[in-house]
Structures are given as C-alpha cells and as structure tokens.
Structure 1
Amino acid sequence: MPAPDARAWTLKVALSQRPWSFVASIGMAASFVCNGLTPVIVGKAVDEAVATSSLIRLVIWIAVLAGVFLLAIATNLISRFMLVRSQQLVSHDLRTMVTDRIQDPRGIAGRDRTAGGLLSIASADTTRVGEIVMMTVMPVGEASAIVYGAILMFTINPWLSVATLLGGVYLVIVAIRVARPLQRRSVARQQAIAEAAATATDVVQGLRILKGLGAILTVRGRYDEVSDIAYRKTIHANAAEARLNGTTEAMGALFVSGLGIAAGALALNGLISVGQLITVVGLSQFLITPMTMFGRNLASRWASAEASGKRIRELLGADFESTAHADTASTDRLLQSLPTGLSVVRGTDPELMALLESLPRNRVIVTPHAADLFDGSVADNVHPVWTIAEEALHVASCDDIPEGPDKRVGENGRMLSGGQRQRVALARAIAFDPEVLVLQDPTTSVDSVTEQIIAERVGAHRGEKITLVFSQAPAWNAVADHHFEVAQVRAMADEHLIVVSR
C-alpha cells in the first residue's frame, strides 16, 4: 500500500493488486471481445450459410458460436474472480492499516474522533476504496470492446469505424462533464452518512448512561438532525447520479440509432451486404453498454473512492498523541529504585502517568481507569489461555459474574455492570503479569467488601513484583507494603528517566 502522503494515492491503491488485477483486466477484455464476436459470426452465417442454403456451413458457424460462448463464459468467470479477490484484498489491507492506526498505543493527535466516526472509516470507507480496483479492470474491457468494434467496422466501412471511435470519445467527454456535480455531491454525501453512522454508534455505545441522565429525547433530536442531513445529501447526490445515467443512456441510444441508420443507407446503396448490415446492427447494440459504462465508471466510481480515500489518508497520516519513550538504561534505574511488593500512591499527576506510560510495555503495564472490553466471552477479554484467565478472574473477584468466564460481555462490556467491567479489566492486567503493574483507582465501581477482597488477593498474587496502586481507598492502604505521596514517585521518575522522542 502507498504511504498516506503519496501522490496519486488512489491510483496507486487501484494498481496495488497487480499482477492479479492485470489478469482480471485481460480476462475482461477477452470476455468483451468474445461477446462482440457474436454479431460477426451471425453475419458470416447469414452470408455464407443462409444466403447459399448451405447446411454444412450453418453447422460450422453454430459450432464456432458455441465455442465463442464457452470461451466468453470462462474468461468472464476468471476475470470476475480475480477482480473480487483483488477488491477484497485491498479492502482487507486498508482495514488492517486503519485498525492498527486506531489501536496504536501512541494515540491519534488533533481533533477529537468518536468511535462511530472511526468505525465508519474502518468499514464503509475502506470498502469503497477497495472497489476502486474495478477501475483497472472494467474500463480496460470496455475500451477494448470499443477499439475492437471500431476495427471490425473498418473491415466493413472505414467511415463507420471513424464514427465508432468518435462516438466513444464523445460519450466519455459528456459523462465526465455531466458527472462534475456528482463528484462534489459524493463527498458531501459520504461525510453526512459517516456523521450519521458515527452518531448512531455513539448513541448505542452510551445508551445506558443516556437513559440514566434522561437525555434520550435530546439525543434523539440530535440524531434526527444528522440523519435528515444525510438523507438530503444522499438524495442530492443520487439526483446527480440519475442525471449522469440518463444522459449517458440517451446519448448512447442516439449514437446506436445514428449508426444503424447510416449502415442501413449503405446497405440500400449496395455498399455493404445484408450479413454486414446485421453485423453492424449487432455491434451497435453490443457497443452501447461499454460506451455508456466507460465514461460513467470513470466519472462516478472514482469520485466516491477519492472522497473515502481522503478520510482514510487523513487518519493514517495523523500525528501521534504521544511520541516519547524511555531508554533502556534509565528504565532499569527507575525500576531498581522502586520497592518490591504493593505500594499505594496518594494523589494524581497526569504528567507522572505520561512518564510511566513511556516505559517499555513489555515490562511496565499502566492500566487506565476506564478500560475497553471487546465483544466475546469474559475469558476472551482476559487471556487466551483458559487457566491463566480463570486465575486472574479469581484474583479480581469476578466469581459472581453469571455464567462465569463463558459469559458474553457485549461490545465494550455493555452486558456487564460497571463494577463487573472494571473487575474484568483488572483481571486482564493481572493476567499479563508484567514486571511492573500500575493501577489507577481500580476498584471505584465496587462495594467496600469486594474492594477489600480484591486488594488482598492482588497483593498476595503479585507477591514481590512491583505494583503501584494510585488510590485513596482504605482497602488498598490496609494491604500496602509501602505508602508514597505522588510527589515522591514523580521525583524518582524525574531523577532516573531519560525520555526521548520517537
């Protein structure tokens, strides 16, 4: 995949699946040519078999026609398989890049981004850009069909060939000019749809909180507003697309009619045979589809892909929110200065947390106060090894969760209570078993009895490993081996850590 800031990014994405997309292009061109051979074969059969009443020649041309049909079917199947495969691979690669960027622990700097907006980019936009591979396949087949038709027309009458080429170019120019409003409106449509999808996702994600606040009517009004805007933008864009389709279909019909009338006049004057007239009429009917679709695909599909590509590139190219990390030597010095066992730190310091988060993640885990859970079972959210997950859940006092480790939590844990979500997130951190574990108010959503049990179990489970708990809760203070003020830990970090930019 090209870099987000690469020039002609959309074109490079479209060509990223070569040579398989080229195989699809060749197959599609062959399929179009085979379909275009049908009127030629019928015309030859009329001149050589029907006009001469030759049964043998008729059988031969029927066999040739059957062979051409089989070849057209085979090449069409191969090319479409390669096309769909290439589209899916491009969409998959883009989705992987987008999700990796979203999940990067260094964060995304700049404007705030909602979960729904990110979901829209990772799903709808990546799929739409993946479909751009079609632009390396279908237009090739359509252009091949137009050139092929012009060559055959030249064997019948040079002026018909010139008319075919000029007609094809004219239809493309008309389609591109008529599609200009569609290109602008496609961008507005996709932005509006993305905002509506983002709002819906965010509402569902926070539905429980919204009900508690009694804000359902307010949120409903907000969603109605963005949904109406998306509806109007979609109607506006669809109207432009309908004008494009209607214009290209009308111009194509006029072209075919004119070509047929010209061929009829040539036949009446004896300049071409009846079989050649049949060939011209058949070719005209065959050419109307590639001629109209060629300009339409270039105009409409490319506009949609460009709009989605812009959103993807903006996300992939966004700066990192956190770009600092501690070097190995200073990390070792800081960890050696911290006491073993469970230490309670009183007070908060966001800058200290940023320093701790800059430590290597394979050695130090800093758990956020509110962690995300993913759709799946409780055990799946803790650790892939069942025994490790089960032990960590016991330490975090998750024994009261109905159905136990097999219970599905729903997206972001929506099927669990607040206390259950917090304990499952704590179990996940415990299961990782890092050299240093930093917990930030890990039991604020549980009752005091459960909090005391969790504190005792975490202390016993962690043993001599370094555990820092930022909390004012009496339960943690009661089991702590050491007590610190936040300023003391900050002084140790400032003394030993050397943080560098990545």
Structure 2
Amino acid sequence: MAPTKTSNRRPVDRDLSPDFSAITLGKHALRHGAFAEGRGLQLGASTALLMIHQVCEALVPVLIGVGIDKAIGPSDLGALFWILGGLAGLFLMLTYSWRHGYRLTNRVYGFGDHSLRQMVIAKVLDPRATGKQFGAGRTLNIATSDTAITAGLSWVVSQMSASLAALVTAATSLLLISWQLGLLVLVATAVFLVLMHFITAPLERRTHLQQERAAEATGLATDLVTGLRVLQGLGATRTATERYKETSRASLQAALGTAKSEALFSTVTLGLSAMFLAAITWVAASMTLAGEISIGQLVTVVGLAQFIQEPLSSLAYYPAALAQKRAAAKRIVALLNTEVDADAPEPATDSTPTGPAAFHELLVRGEGSHPDIRLLPGSITGLRTDARSSRELTLLLAGRADDSSQRVQINGVPAAACGLAALRSMVFVSDHDAAIFTGSIRENLHAQAPLDTVLGATGLAEISAKLPLGLDARVGEQGSALSGGQRQRLLLARALHQPQPVIVLVDPTTALDSVSEARIAAALNGPGSVALLIISDSPLLLGACDTVIDTVSLHTAGVNP
C-alpha cells in the first residue's frame, strides 16, 4: 500500500548559506578560526592562564634557591615552612592555570575548526557554487585537514605567549641575581632565535610542500575510489594506478624531506640548548666560587637555565608552525572564493515555501520525441528511460540543473519562478546510490511520525526485527554494516517517509531479489495522497504503476487503469 502522510511532518531542512564576507574579502581565515564568534575572549582567558602557569613554573627554581639561602643554610625551620608553603601554593596555582588554560584553548580550537569546516561544507553545498578547480578529494582534504590546521592558530597564540612570559620571568629573575647573568641570557636568547630562524626557513618550505603533496595524494585517492567503476569500464585502472603511484611517491619524498628538516631542527635546537645551559652553568659556578652569588642563587640560575630550554625551542619553531597554518588558510580562502553561477537559483534562506501552498499537479515537459510527464496526487507513474535521460531528469527535479526553459511546472507555475525552496518542499529525489549516514537505522530515517507503513512496505521491519537493537542498530560508516539489499530498503523507507507530496525513486530495487521486489511493488500499489515517480526498467515495479512512460521505445502505455 502506498505510504500515507500524517500531519506530524518534520520541516524540510533549509539550505545553510552563511555570510562568507568575513572570510572571502581578505586573508582572515586564521583570525576567524581563533577569534570570531566570541572565541577571542576565551582565547584571551586561556592565554592568560597558560602564561600564569609558565610564570609559576619559572618561579619554582627561584623559590628553591631562596629556600636554600634563607632556610636550609641558616637552619631556620620557620623559614623552611614558609618556603614549603610558598612552593605548595605555586604548584596549586600552576596546576589550576594549566588545567583550565588547556581546556579553554582546546575549546577555542575545537569550535574554530568546526566553524571553518561548516563554512567550507556550506560553500560546497551551495547550488550556485561551481568549484571547477576543486575535486571531491581535494575538497575533502580542505574540509578536514586544512580546517584543523588553520584553527590550530589558537594553540600558537596561547603557547607562544606563555613561552614569552616564561622567558621574561626567567630573564628578570637572573637580572635581579646578577646583571651579567641576565644580560648573558638575553643576548644568548636573541642569538639563538636568529640562528633558529635560518634553520626553520627550509623547514617552512618543506612543510608547505608536504601539505600540498599530501593534499594532492588524498584528493587523487578519493577521486579514484569515487570513479572506480567508470575507470574499470574504460579499462583505465592501470593508468590511474600509475598516476596515483607517482603522486604518492611525490608525497612520500616531501614527507621525508620534512622529516629530515625536523630532525636537523631538533638536533641543532638540542645542541644549542645544551651549549647555552653549559655556558650559563659555567659562568654561574665561577661567580659562586668568586663569592659574587650564593649557593642558592647558583641553584636558581642552573634551574632557570634548564627551564628556559623548552620555551626557547618553542619560540624557534613557531614561525614554521605559523607558516603551515597560513598555507592551510590560503587553501580554505581559495575554496570559499570560488565563483558562483549567476544563472543558478539563489539558495533558500528559510524553510518557508515561496511557491504554491498546495500540490495539485507537477508537469515535466518533454524534449524532442520524449513525452510530457504529469504527476498527480495519489498516482504512481513509471518511467523507463536511458541512464543519461534519467540523470538529467533527476538533476532537474532536485533543483541541481538549470531550468531556464521552464520544463518543470508546479500547479501550472514554473518551478524556476517559485524558487529552489518551493521546488524542494514539493519534490524529493532519492537516488539508488544516495548517502547512508553513520548512525542507527532510526537516525537515518529521521522519524518523527509513525513508521509502520513504510517499514512494512519496504520490508525493513522484518530486517530490523532480526537485529538485536532493532531500529537502533548501527549501520556503520556509509552503511558498511548493511548489505546491498538492506541499504536499498533503508533508502526506500527514508524516501517514502519524506514530507514532500512528490517522491521520485531511481532504481529503488536493483539490489533485491525478485520475491522482495514483488512484495515492494505490491505494497506500493494502492491509494494515497503522494505522487510517486518510479524510474526503473523492472517489469514488477512498472507493472504496479498506474501509468508507464517508455521513452526507450518511445511508447506510452496505461497499466492498471
């Protein structure tokens, strides 16, 4: 029996078309990921907390040195308790600030990554976007890897600020102990950063090259997998394989080059840090032997010299990290700046239909020798046509193709004049290879109304009854836990449950056996308020239709009048 509609319909999902002006008018993808939508205040708070953490860590060796001079040396038990209490307070403060600073920075990073990814996805789904220079694989890489890298600016900002705070605290402490030691640290820091700048330059270049090569390899792999059947049909799998091997080797060479640069960077950093620590220790020990500084101050100097190795190394690496994020941000901006088709329909800004309020008739005017297709409420129309014509028709009914000739009309009004929102509120097109979302069967159906009718009509009820979790059973990534027949039953049930008054099914039973196909055909044959258009060459499905339009033989026949 044809599925019946209830008044409890879920609203048609509206098109998400955010304002891209903040991104596309300049090089602001980095700033958007870290500071937009209120993330700037959170990043400021997290940066302040991480700076407090580093300052407290730098003060630990200072307080230990004071304890040696003021408590342990003179054997002052009271002073020792005060020093221990101060150390406990420092550790409480640095633990608290690190925990909450890390949490806030991670929050800014996560939401920034999500915001950038949503903008990329919305741009890709914009029906006006052409995206000629971006394939599916490259777009996937931008929407996953590049958005995460760009949003990582929040970590660069917070950790670089914390490193600077640590160096300032350490240098100030050393200046208070001995201006010679403080000056030595400042000069050595400047020299260290200059040297590391020249070392990180090739690392920046190779990191950028690695990102580009990895993006190319990922994009090519995705595109090849997507078009594997076409390649097999053309006999081009060997050529495609060789092309992927070349791209993969180039990506590997770029990755090895980056690894070599990173190894050189780490080696030089550790070597210079060890030399810096040895020089500071030698000077401090000489001053202690000369009586210029105390034993406690010597301990403080050595502790600070060890402590500042990590902030120094971090500061030296930040230019390379920032260059990596700039490169990723440029790719995001390039995608968001892709031109839109001026002739394409404007994306809907809300879910309110702008066309006819009620459905009485949908007409698709034929071209050439192809007849018109007229869909009426409660009718089941079958269409037997070639693959090319089927694809053109489904793109037209889904609003994904230009309809300047006004072939599609709803209640006598051209769909192009009604707008994309009106068309999609009236027509739902279900391809036989539509996407299965990761989650449960129930979540894929997105059910807010009774499912008994569509579950029975498609046989999905029988399948779900055998599963331990029933409708809550997980379907896996892209429906990997389902067989081909189960996938088609799920897609058919989801299509029949849609609120639109016109439902288009494209080869809905190709993966089912003849017995299951006959049951579905019998269940679809009955009264209802929905206009079904079934595009198929299955005799069983076409036999269940009220009208069959055969464009292959250019003949129209009435069945079951």
CA distance 1:283–1:362, shift in 2 (3 Å): same
For 2:72 and 2:512, locate their aligned partners in 1 and report how far apart those are by CA, in whole Å: 91
Query: 1:78 matched to which residue of 2?
Result: 100
Q: Structure 1, residues 242-288: CA drift from partner, whole Å, max 9, x if none?
A: 21222222223333333333444444555444443433333222222
For 1:284 and 1:480, locate their aligned partners in 2 and report how far apart those are by CA, in whole Å: 84
Q: Structure 1, residues 408-437: CA drift from partner, whole Å, max 9, x if none?
A: 544333444545433432221111041122
Which residue of the other structure, out of 398, 404, 410, is the alignment partner of 1:357?
Answer: 398
2:381 partner amino acid: S
For 1:8 and 1:272, locate their aligned partners in 2 and report how far apart those are by CA, in whole Å: 51
Q: Tell whether the 8 Å contact from 2:33 to 2:116 is kept in structure 1 after alignment.
A: no
Which residue of the other structure, out of 234, 256, 261, is the alignment partner of 2:277?
Answer: 256
C-alpha deviation, 1:339, in angstroms: 4.5
C-alpha deviation, 1:142, in angstroms: 0.9
Query: 2:402 matched to which residue of 1?
Result: none
RMSD: 4.0
Q: Tell whether the 8 Å contact from 1:344 to 1:477 is kept in structure 2 after alignment.
A: yes
C-alpha deviation, 1:308, in angstroms: 3.2
Q: Tell me, what secondary structure is at the counterpart of 2:252?
A: helix
C-alpha deviation, 1:117, in angstroms: 4.8
Q: Tell whether the 8 Å contact from 1:146 to 1:164 is kept in structure 2 after alignment.
A: no
Q: Tell whether the 8 Å contact from 2:458 to 2:493 is kept in structure 1 after alignment.
A: yes
Which residue of the other structure, out of 454, 457, 461, is the alignment partner of 1:395?
Answer: 457
Q: Tell whether the 8 Å contact from 2:431 to 2:506 is kept in structure 1 after alignment.
A: yes
Which residue of the other structure, out of 238, 252, 271, is the alignment partner of 1:231?
Answer: 252
Query: 2:487 matched to which residue of 1?
Result: 421
For 1:429 and 1:333, locate their aligned partners in 2 and report how far apart those are by CA, in whole Å: 18
C-alpha deviation, 1:294, in angstroms: 1.5
Query: 2:304 matched to which residue of 1?
Result: 283
C-alpha deviation, 1:240, in angstroms: 0.7
Query: 1:328 matched to which residue of 2?
Result: 354
Which residue of the other structure, out of 291, 301, 309, is the alignment partner of 2:321?
Answer: 301
Which residue of the other structure, out of 85, 96, 103, is the alignment partner of 1:63?
Answer: 85
**For 1:425-440, what aligned pairs fall within 5 Å after superposition?**
425-440=491-506
1:135 partner amino acid: V
Query: 1:26 matched to which residue of 2?
Result: 48
Q: Does structure 1 residue 178 correspond to structure 2 residue 199?
A: yes
Q: Structure 1, residues 352-373: CA drift from partner, whole Å, max 9, x if none?
A: 5444223432221122343122
Q: Which has the higher helix share?
A: 1
Q: Tell me, what secondary structure is at the counterpart of 2:493?
A: helix
2:447 partner amino acid: P
Query: 2:380 matched to which residue of 1?
Result: 342
For 1:426 and 1:107, locate their aligned partners in 2 and report how far apart those are by CA, in whole Å: 29
For 2:163 and 2:300, locate their aligned partners in 1 and report how far apart those are by CA, in whole Å: 19
Q: Does structure 1 residue 458 correspond to structure 2 residue 536?
A: no
Q: Tell me, what secondary structure is at the counterpart of 1:252?
A: helix
C-alpha deviation, 1:26, in angstroms: 1.3
Aligned length: 483
For 2:393 and 2:234, locate their aligned partners in 1 and report how far apart those are by CA, in whole Å: 33
Q: Tell whether the 8 Å contact from 2:33 to 2:113 is kept in structure 1 after alignment.
A: no
Q: Tell whether the 8 Å contact from 1:179 to 1:299 is kept in structure 2 after alignment.
A: yes
For 1:378 and 1:191, locate their aligned partners in 2 and report how far apart those are by CA, in whole Å: 38
CA distance 1:472–1:176, shift in 2 (3 Å): same
**For 1:475-490, what aligned pairs fall within 5 Å after superposition?**
475-482=540-547
C-alpha deviation, 1:143, in angstroms: 0.5
Q: Tell whether the 8 Å contact from 1:186 to 1:307 is kept in structure 2 after alignment.
A: no
For 1:306 and 1:449, locate their aligned partners in 2 and report how far apart those are by CA, in whole Å: 58
C-alpha deviation, 1:106, in angstroms: 6.1
Q: Tell me, what secondary structure is at the counterpart of 1:432?
A: coil
Which residue of the other structure, out of 421, 438, 447, is the alignment partner of 1:384?
Answer: 447
Name stretches of at least 5 consecutive residues in structure 1 with no aligned partner: 488-502
Query: 2:23 matched to which residue of 1?
Result: 3
C-alpha deviation, 1:221, in angstroms: 6.6
For 2:55 and 2:305, locate their aligned partners in 1 and report how far apart those are by CA, in whole Å: 14
For 1:239 and 1:40, locate their aligned partners in 2 and report how far apart those are by CA, in whole Å: 38
C-alpha deviation, 1:295, in angstroms: 1.7
Q: Tell me, what secondary structure is at the counterpart of 1:361?
A: helix
Q: Tell me, what secondary structure is at the counterpart of 1:460?
A: coil
Q: Tell whether the 8 Å contact from 1:15 to 1:136 is kept in structure 2 after alignment.
A: no
Q: Tell whether the 8 Å contact from 1:106 to 1:323 is kept in structure 2 after alignment.
A: yes
Q: Tell me, what secondary structure is at the counterpart of 1:395?
A: helix
Q: Does structure 1 residue 244 correspond to structure 2 residue 265?
A: yes
Identical columns (%): 30
C-alpha deviation, 1:291, in angstroms: 1.7
Q: Tell me, what secondary structure is at the counterpart of 1:179?
A: helix
Query: 2:435 matched to which residue of 1?
Result: 372
For 1:230 and 1:81, locate their aligned partners in 2 and report how far apart those are by CA, in whole Å: 34
CA distance 1:38–1:470, shift in 2 (3 Å): closer
Q: Tell me, what secondary structure is at the counterpart of 2:532?
A: strand
Q: Tell whether the 8 Å contact from 2:65 to 2:296 is kept in structure 1 after alignment.
A: yes
For 2:477 and 2:396, locate their aligned partners in 1 and report how far apart those are by CA, in whole Å: 31
Stretch deviating more after TM superposition (286-295 or 8-17): 8-17
Stretch deviating more after TM superposition (175-184 or 102-111): 102-111
Q: Tell whether the 8 Å contact from 2:29 to 2:150 is kept in structure 1 after alignment.
A: no
C-alpha deviation, 1:204, in angstroms: 7.5
For 1:469 and 1:283, locate their aligned partners in 2 and report how far apart those are by CA, in whole Å: 76
